[in-house]
């Protein structure tokens, strides 16, 4: 079946945003980022259930926010990898027949539905791991510990990586069982030596990290950029 279960890590503290509350709960036009993200996943029509990893102290509050939607809420972990792992264990137990799993940051709350569709399609077509990407538009430099430039990688071979990332469920379970940490789930899969395919991402799938990002995200929501 080509419908996925989506895991949404939302247990971060949102320190760089500086709102004094978990980023997932920060409102954009009166609706928390997490709710925007969950609705976006479900509205894409390719996700049958969502498992949210919430800050452990906010499980009840988050459950209330997503009441009435096909969403389960579990306590997150100390880092993003642990939060995804907790959601994955729940998903595998609750939906033993699921074949495709997405991992989507709550902070990428305005990801267009076509990106979700492209990722699910690529996994359904046989890729074990799929990430949405954008070309790099800035010149990127590698620096040493003192900030002195070492070299300039060829920009044409670089990509910025977004979410949702899609996986064959067995592959993601294996990656999370390997006991390493990474800033994204594809990073864990890469360490297994499994090829990770790419599909086109979208600028609106930007991650909200700073107050500047939040202002841009509000514009994306209002003007549909």
The residue ranges that bind ligand CTP (CB under 6 A) are 9-17, 23-24, 53, 76-80, 83, 105-107, 207, 209
Which CB atom, from 83 or from 127, has the smaller least distance to ligand CTP?
83
Q: Looking at beta carbons only, is 128 or 184 nearer to ligand CTP?
A: 184
Stretch that binds Mg ion, among 12-20, 133-141, 142-150, 180-188 (CB under 5 A): 12-20
In the complex, minimum distance from the CB of residue 87 to ligand CTP, in angstroms, rounded to a whole number: 8
Rounded to the nearest whole angstrom, what is the least distance from the CB of residue 126 to ligand CTP in the complex? 28
190 burial level (CB within 10 Å; 0-12, 13-18, 19+):
middle
209 binds, among Mg ion, ligand CTP, none (CB under 5 to 8 A by kind): ligand CTP
The smaller minimum CB distance to ligand CTP, of residues 49 and 127, is found at 49
Reference 208, options 5, 6, 34; nearest CA is 34
- Contact status: 55 vs Mg ion (CB under 5 A): no
What is 136-147 written as a DSSP string? Answer: --S---EE-TTS
Minimum CB distance to ligand CTP smaller for 36 or for 127:
36
**13 interacts with, out of Mg ion, ligand CTP, none, CB within 5 to 8 A per kind:** ligand CTP
As a whole number of angstroms, the distance between CA 176 and CA 172 comes to 6
Binder to Mg ion among 9, 12, 14, 132 (CB under 5 A)?
12
What is the smallest separation between the CB atom of 8 and ligand CTP, expressed in angstroms? Answer: 7
Please name the residues in contact with 191: beta carbons below 8 A apart, sequence gap of 6 or more.
Answer: 175, 178, 180, 182
Shortest Å, Cβ 203 to ligand CTP: 17
Q: From its phi and psi, is residue 14 left (phi > 0), alpha (psi between -120 and 50) or beta?
A: left
CA distance 145 to 43: 45
* Structure token digits, residue 54: 């919430």
| Interhelix angle 80-94/169-176, nearest 10 degrees | 130
Closer to Mg ion by CB, 55 or 112: give it. Answer: 55
H or E element, residue 58: none
* Footprint on this chain of Mg ion (rule: CB under 5 A): 12
């Amino acid at each position: 079946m080509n419908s996925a279960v989506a895991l949404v890590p939302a247990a971060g503290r949102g320190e760089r945003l500086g709102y004094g509350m978990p980023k997932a709960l920060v409102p954009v036009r009166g609706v928390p980022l997490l709710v925007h993200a969950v609705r976006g996943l479900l509205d894409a029509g390719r996700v049958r259930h969502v498992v949210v990893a919430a800050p452990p102290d906010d499980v009840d509050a988050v459950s209330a926010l997503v009441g009435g939607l096909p969403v389960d809420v579990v306590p997150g972990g100390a880092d993003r990898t642990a939060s995804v792992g907790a959601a994955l264990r729940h998903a595998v137990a609750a939906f033993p027949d699921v074949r495709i799993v997405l991992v989507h940051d709550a902070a990428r709350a305005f990801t267009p539905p076509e990106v979700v569709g492209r990722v699910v399609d690529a996994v359904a077509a046989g890729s074990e791991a799929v990430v949405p990407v954008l070309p790099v538009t800035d010149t990127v430099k590698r620096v040493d510990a003192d900030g002195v430039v070492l070299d300039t990688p060829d920009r044409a071979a670089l990509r910025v990586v977004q979410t949702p990332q899609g996986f064959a469920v067995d592959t993601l379970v294996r990656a999370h069982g390997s006991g390493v940490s990474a800033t994204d789930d594809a990073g864990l899969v890469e360490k297994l030596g499994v090829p990770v395919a790419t599909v086109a991402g979208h600028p609106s799938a930007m991650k909200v990290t700073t107050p500047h990002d939040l202002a841009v995200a509000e514009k994306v929501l209002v003007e549909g950029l």
